[in-house]
Every structure is written in C-alpha cells, then in structure tokens.
Amino acid sequence: MSPPTPVFSRKEIEQKYAAQLNEPEKYECTLKSLTQNECTFKLGENSRVVETLCVPFKRIFQRCLVPHTILKNGRKTVEKRWINIEVTLASSNDDLKSVNRAEILEFMRAELDLQKWIQSTELEDER
C-alpha cells in the first residue's frame, strides 16, 4: 500500500513544496519508490469474469523532514516531521511500459470492454 500522501497537481506540488524540491539536503530528503498493480477484469461469454489482469506501475516519493508548528501546553512549538511528496512523472513508468507492452495492451482492451459492459448495464437499469 502506498504511504498516505495528499493528491496535488504537478503545479501545486512545485508551489507547495518548492523549498524541499529545490534544497533536498536541507530537509534530509530521500527518494523512495514502490511498485503497485492496477487490475481489471477480462470478461468472457455472458459477461462472466474469466481472468483478472494486473499491470505494475511505479510511484516515486521524496520523503523529507520538515518543520511543523504545534500547540503544546498552550505554547507554539516547532517540531520536525516526515512528509511524503509524490514526485512521480509520466515518464517514471517508461521502463515498465517497454517491458510489459503486450500485457498493457491486453489490459487496455479488457478495461475498455469492461467499461462498455458497465455502461450497457447502467443503461438497462435506467429503463
């Protein structure tokens, strides 16, 4: 499971965490990565699930120690805490794309078929 990380756009990350991204040594930042899987279902006849297809993708985080102000015994105190800043780029998974190309294409076809099936069942439910 990925670390709890707020979701921001690339622009928001660059603004909110500019200091950490520009001076990682000052904040004792280290790069961390993890590989997750995104899964979908391959449908067979009668819309039965015949296979679960999963493809790996990599997420990259910069873990930094940042000052944090808290209220302790009625006084403001500055402590340091670790934060995870997601720095994954679109290109971060290029190596996985080339290795898993056939699996990704099969995954995308299955995902499209599943979406079409979901939409058709939603239309039937509306009738």
- Residue 115 has a CB neighbour count (10 Å cut-off) of 11
- Give domain status of residue 54, yes or no: yes
pLDDT for 2: 62
Q: For 73, what's the count of Cα atoms within 13 Å in the CB-facing half-sphere? A: 1
More confident residue, 89 or 46: 89
- C-alpha–C-alpha distance, residues 12 and 14, integer Å: 5
How many domains in the chain?
A: 1
Q: What pLDDT does 95 receive?
A: 84
**Which residue range(s) make up the domain with 106?**
10-126
Instruction: Name beta bridge partners: 31.
Output: 62
Domain membership of residue 63 (yes or no) is: yes
Output helix, strand, coil percentages for the chain, rounded to the nearest 5: 40, 40, 20
- Which residue in 108, 113, 118, 119 sits closest to 54, CA to CA? 108
Specify the length of the chain in residues.
127
- Does the residue 120 lie in any domain? yes
Q: Confirm whether pTM is higher than 0.85.
A: no
Asked if the model's pLDDT at residue 109 lies above 70, the reply is yes
Q: 87, 113, 92: which is closest to 3 by C-alpha?
A: 87
Q: What local confidence, expressed as pLDDT, does residue 127 receive? A: 64
Q: Does residue 5 lie within any of the structural domains? A: no
Would 88 be classed as within a structural domain? yes
> How many percent of the chain have pLDDT more than 70?
94
| Residue 96 within any structural domain of the chain | yes
Q: How far apart are CA 69 and CA 15, in angstroms?
A: 20
